[in-house]
């Protein structure tokens, strides 16, 4: 019995409302995406949806030592255990609660599934004129074996407010798990938001993450996606600019080995004039790992004076590693400045020769050059604890001495 059959049985016992039933039936009709769908052309879900999962997570107690092990040491934490909100901080001007249902445009069948059945997640509302001084760390822990978890999250940032968030979904079950994660972010006028994702999980873990961000006038939003491990990862990151002078920034690093897989899909919808978007994704692929990048920038007819930049640079450090990259521009305005680019290659032989001539071993030289390639993204991180962790994870996976590389 596959995942769809299990989900259908699960839905029968959930007493869905009429509206939820319509959404779920739409998902059942479409089914999970296949390679025939353009947006999933290079990403197969066949093995994932054939697996059987536990749809009823069992709540586990969590020890503070586990939280401390995976936390950045940030003061303000939101902690989930097996889908249950177990801890949230008190922050002046910030309301933090658990799951609250909301309507949001569904991008595909998987988003519809989340909309129909998700019952876990967080709601963060930041009042007007509030600058949240310390970052907020959100930790999701899973202990249930072979679980299928769905989180549905909502963030609303009031006018003139600022916040930084770090998210980490951690599977501790040592089994085959799947997470369907959806986050909706509303950036009101003159807001500044930085959202960071740490994705460093087990070989058996599978994550499908969708983030929809809606920006109003003069807002700035940055999303940093840091992938250091996981059996299967699909990130859908969508920006919609609905006011003038918006800025959307995206940075990503994928460092994969073994037969790990990561697919980053981004979409920026420039709907109004005088806006900007900047996108830098870097991938490093070792052994039998595989990556996908699909970045699309759309400029609507009335969105003049747009400045958009997109780059995807990749290193293939094994004969068996692969990357499928597809940067796209769709422009209907005539007064814009848009560019995109993609590079796929190996390490610079001249640089390797130079380092070896200075007495540095071949393996260490390769690791240091690779570290330098990735560090452009890491160095841009504004939260010191996050930058320090990313540097350590990068150096550890590349087997490079951190002091030497710096």
Query: In this predicted model, what pLDDT tens digit does every residue of 169-222 receive, in sequence order?
Result: 999 999 999 999 999 999 999 999 999 999 999 999 999 999 999 999 999 999
User: What mean pLDDT do residues 227-250 have?
Assistant: 97
Percentage of the chain modeled with pLDDT above 90: 82
d(CA 53, CA 6): 8
249 — pLDDT class (breaks 50, 70, 90): very high
d(CA 189, CA 30): 37
User: What mean pLDDT do residues 152-171 have?
Assistant: 98
Average pLDDT of every residue of the chain:
93
pLDDT for 404 equals 44
User: What mean pLDDT do residues 368-386 have?
Assistant: 91
284 has a pLDDT exceeding 90: yes
pLDDT for 405 equals 42
406 — pLDDT class (breaks 50, 70, 90): very low
User: What mean pLDDT do residues 139-164 have?
Assistant: 97
358 has a pLDDT exceeding 90: no
353 has a pLDDT exceeding 80: no
Residue with the bigger pLDDT between 361 and 100: it is 100
335 — pLDDT class (breaks 50, 70, 90): very high
Nearest residue to 41 via CA among 297, 317, 328: 328
403 has a pLDDT exceeding 60: no
The answer to which of 118-127, 157-166, 368-377, 396-405 has the lowest mean pLDDT is 396-405
pLDDT 10s digits, 87-132: 999 999 999 999 999 988 766 899 999 999 999 999 999 999 999 9
User: What mean pLDDT do residues 277-305 have?
Assistant: 97
Indicate the domain borders of the chain.
3-348, 349-406
Tell me how far CA of residue 128 lies from CA of 91, 97, 159, 187, in angstroms: 14, 18, 5, 11
User: What mean pLDDT do residues 15-42 have?
Assistant: 94
pLDDT for 18 equals 94
**pTM exceeding 0.85:** yes
User: What mean pLDDT do residues 283-294 have?
Assistant: 97
User: What mean pLDDT do residues 355-380 have?
Assistant: 84
User: What mean pLDDT do residues 142-163 have?
Assistant: 97
Percentage of the chain modeled with pLDDT above 70: 98
φ/ψ region of 73 (left if φ > 0, alpha if ψ in -120 to 50, else beta) reads left
């Amino acid at each position: 019995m596959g995942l769809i059959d299990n989900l259908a049985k699960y839905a029968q016992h959930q007493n869905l409302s009429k509206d939820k039933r319509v959404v779920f039936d739409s998902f059942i009709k479409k089914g999970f995406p296949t390679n025939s769908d353009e947006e999933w052309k290079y990403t197969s879900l066949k093995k994932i949806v054939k697996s059987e999962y536990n749809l009823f997570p069992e709540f586990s107690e969590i020890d503070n030592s586990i939280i401390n092990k995976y936390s950045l040491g940030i003061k303000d934490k939101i902690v989930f255990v097996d889908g249950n909100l177990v801890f949230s901080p008190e922050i002046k001007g910030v309301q933090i609660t658990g799951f609250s249902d909301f309507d949001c445009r569904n991008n595909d069948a998987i988003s519809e599934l989340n909309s129909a059945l998700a019952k876990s997640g967080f709601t963060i509302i930041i009042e007007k004129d509030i600058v949240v001084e310390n970052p907020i760390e959100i930790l999701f822990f899973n202990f249930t074996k072979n679980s299928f978890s769905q989180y549905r999250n909502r963030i609303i940032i009031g006018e003139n407010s600022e916040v930084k968030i770090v998210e980490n979904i951690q599977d501790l079950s040592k089994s085959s798990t799947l997470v369907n994660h959806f986050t909706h972010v509303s950036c009101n006028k003159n807001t500044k938001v930085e959202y960071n994702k740490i994705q460093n999980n087990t070989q058996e873990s599978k994550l499908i993450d969708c983030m929809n961000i809606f920006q109003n006038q003069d807002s700035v939003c940055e999303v940093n996606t840091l992938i250091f491990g996981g059996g299967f990862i699909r990130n859908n990151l969508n920006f919609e600019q609905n006011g003038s002078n918006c800025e959307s920034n995206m940075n990503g690093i994928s460092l994969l080995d073994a037969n790990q897989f990561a697919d980053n899909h981004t979409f920026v919808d420039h709907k109004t004039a005088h806006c900007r978007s900047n996108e830098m994704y870097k991938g490093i692929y070792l052994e039998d790992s595989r990556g996908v990048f699909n970045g699309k920038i759309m400029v609507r007819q009335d969105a003049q004076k747009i400045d958009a930049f997109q780059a995807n640079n990749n290193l293939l450090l094994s004969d068996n590693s692969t990357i499928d990259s597809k940067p796209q521009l769709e422009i209907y305005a005539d007064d814009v400045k848009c560019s995109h680019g993609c590079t796929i290659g190996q390490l610079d032989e001249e640089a390797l020769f130079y380092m070896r001539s200075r007495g540095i071993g071949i393996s260490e030289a390769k690791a240091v050059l690779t570290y330098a390639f990735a560090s452009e993204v890491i160095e841009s991180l504004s939260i010191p604890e996050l930058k320090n962790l990313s540097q350590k994870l990068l150096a550890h996976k590349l087997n490079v001495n951190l002091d030497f590389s710096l």
